[in-house]
Amino acid sequence: MRALLGSLRSLLFGETWSLPLGVAGALCAALLLRSALPQGLWGHAGGFLIAALVAAALTLSLRLGR
């Protein structure tokens, strides 16, 4: 029973916290980049930058899960 609770806690608090925190960090970084980059550049590349930041957060989350 103790092992089941330990693995359930690891499942709930392990991956569940790292990915949302990574996505929140990516969105905060995107807000900072939006204010730093010129408006025209953000209009063309903003979506790609957000996608790259979220992909990096997912990769880091998967890497931390090992």
Does the structure show a pLDDT above 90 at 61? no
Question: How far, in Å, CA of 42 to CA of 49, rounded?
Answer: 9
How confident is the model over 31-54, as a mean pLDDT?
Answer: 91
Residue 52 pLDDT level (bands cut at 50, 70, 90): very high
Distance of CA 53 to the CA centre of its chain: 7
pLDDT of residue 1: 79
Closest CA to 28 of 13, 44, 49, 58: 49
Closest CA to 34 of 24, 44, 21: 44
Residue 14 pLDDT level (bands cut at 50, 70, 90): low
pLDDT of residue 17: 74
Is the dihedral angle over the CA atoms 24, 21, 29, 60 positive or is it negative? Answer: negative
Does the structure show a pLDDT above 70 at 4? yes
